[in-house]
Structure 1
């Protein structure tokens, strides 16, 4: 017997020295399973997912989500809304059986049962067929879940005037105007006007922007003392000299904006 004949050397006894080609099995004799999961079926899933992802990204580029202004904790009249994919849960909490003393049903029990049921659907319906009529339990649960989400989202979105909301809460563009905090009128503005008109005079939750005003200096001083519209009188509590400094400060800021 020649030396080494019939012997095979490998680096690891768990690795076979003979390589076998990765050829999918023939599933034609099994009804309903006519292709291998890898790579045939999985490749189709990836292709469908890629088409959906590209379409979704194109939609977000063509119709970007409307953005609102920076959150203002002093605005008690502001009603926050969740993102669109949580609107159905937001709508659910409006019903009597899921709000008030039963709010735990709306935030924990009902969503938990719904998502838990969808999670267990593959285990509740183990039929070998892939057609919808052969998977009645899984298909029914999925259709009920999908219909519920669509209906609740529609009901929530239909109750909101999106154009008016976007106009009321549109972001305030950042101003490139430099506020001179050493100006004597700035300290007066800070103590009398800043809480309503914002630290950069661009407006706030209770007052409009003072930048770009069409009022004359005399009118600005009169409004500060006597008010206008929804602004009550006696908002300014300083002397005449301080009032002049305040007016000069507001005018100087508006001159930068021109």
Structure 2
């Protein structure tokens, strides 16, 4: 190794960092013996697939960001009017589990056996179909299974959604995310701020309790009404249980007593249950009178 500028000093190379020139060029492989195949899988074909995947992912992200996700009310385990539904890409499995041969005593068949056969067959497809032909109409067995699977998934998905719409119509239920959006627009139209979350119950919750010290208020706390409508008379609108604040603007004493005696909607008659609980006919009359006085001030 040289340490100075003398021309006669011996130079010793410790290592050679120069890039050596290749003696031969990379020649593409000959795929003429394989119809339809014209390039190597790695890196040529894999790079093209990756680029297509990136474009599709960007498109999906654009759709996701273009519109906010629909949101319902906070989870309420007491809400019997809520119909749970999976995401659209699981609707076919959801519908499959409704059939007799995949539910009840055969639930293991629907939850384990059928998915295992489907996904197992998908994973084994490259090993079972080893033909060199790539055109789908030249591969009848594989193509038939593919089309059969696609048609089955599409049919089960459409059927599941159709049954969901029929159930909503029969039970007269509005999906929570639609109801919440309508309440938000109503709040904006009424001059609200519109920037927050719409609360179920709206104007009824804003009304104050009238005569909270009245004997009827104490009777209400002992009656069966309190278990659903709550001690604050706010109810659970998300579960279809209306608030009783402001109920006097909609019903008079006789109408309220009629609801207590005969029930209304999903509410069963409560008069006899309250009598069995220890309340008297006079107490029920005071309760109906107190509720009829719950008006907006």
Normalising by the residue count of structure 1, what TM-score does the alignment of the two structures yield?
0.65
> Corresponding residue for 1:108?
112
Whichever of the two has the greater Rg, that structure is 2
In structure 1, C-alpha distance between the alignment counterparts of 2:47 and 2:253, rounded to whole Å: 73
C-alpha contact (below 8 Å) 1:179/1:200 kept by paired residues: no
Which ranges of structure 1 fall in alignment gaps of 5 or more residues? 11-16
> Corresponding residue for 1:210?
244
Shift of 1:84: 1.7
Flag the 1:44–1:208 CA change in 2: closer, same or farther, 3 A: same
Q: Secondary structure at the match of 1:94?
A: coil
> Is 1:168 aligned with 2:174?
yes
Flag the 1:90–1:19 CA change in 2: closer, same or farther, 3 A: farther
> Is 1:8 aligned with 2:15?
yes
> Corresponding residue for 2:124?
120
Shift of 1:154: 1.7
- Once the two structures are superposed, residues 130-169 of structure 1 have per-residue CA deviations (whole angstroms, 9 ceiling, x without a partner) of 4435665554443333222112112222222176479434
Shift of 1:60: 4.9
In structure 2, C-alpha distance between the alignment counterparts of 1:208 and 1:124, rounded to whole Å: 60
> Corresponding residue for 1:200?
234
> Corresponding residue for 2:163?
159
In structure 2, C-alpha distance between the alignment counterparts of 1:123 and 1:166, rounded to whole Å: 51
In structure 2, C-alpha distance between the alignment counterparts of 1:220 and 1:25, rounded to whole Å: 93
- Equivalence map 1:1-258=2 (5 Å): 3-5=11-13, 8=15, 18=19, 25-27=26-28, 29-31=30-32, 32-37=36-41, 40-60=44-64, 67-76=71-80, 78-133=82-137, 138-161=142-165, 164=169, 167-170=173-176, 173-174=198-199, 184=213, 191-192=222-223, 193-197=225-229, 200-201=234-235, 203=237, 205=239, 207-210=241-244, 213=247, 215=249, 219-227=251-259, 230=264, 232=269, 234=271, 237=279, 238=283, 250-251=294-295, 254-255=296-297
Which ranges of structure 2 fall in alignment gaps of 5 or more residues? 1-9, 181-197
Normalising by the residue count of structure 2, what TM-score does the alignment of the two structures yield?
0.58
Shift of 1:226: 3.9
The number of residue pairs the alignment matches comes to 241
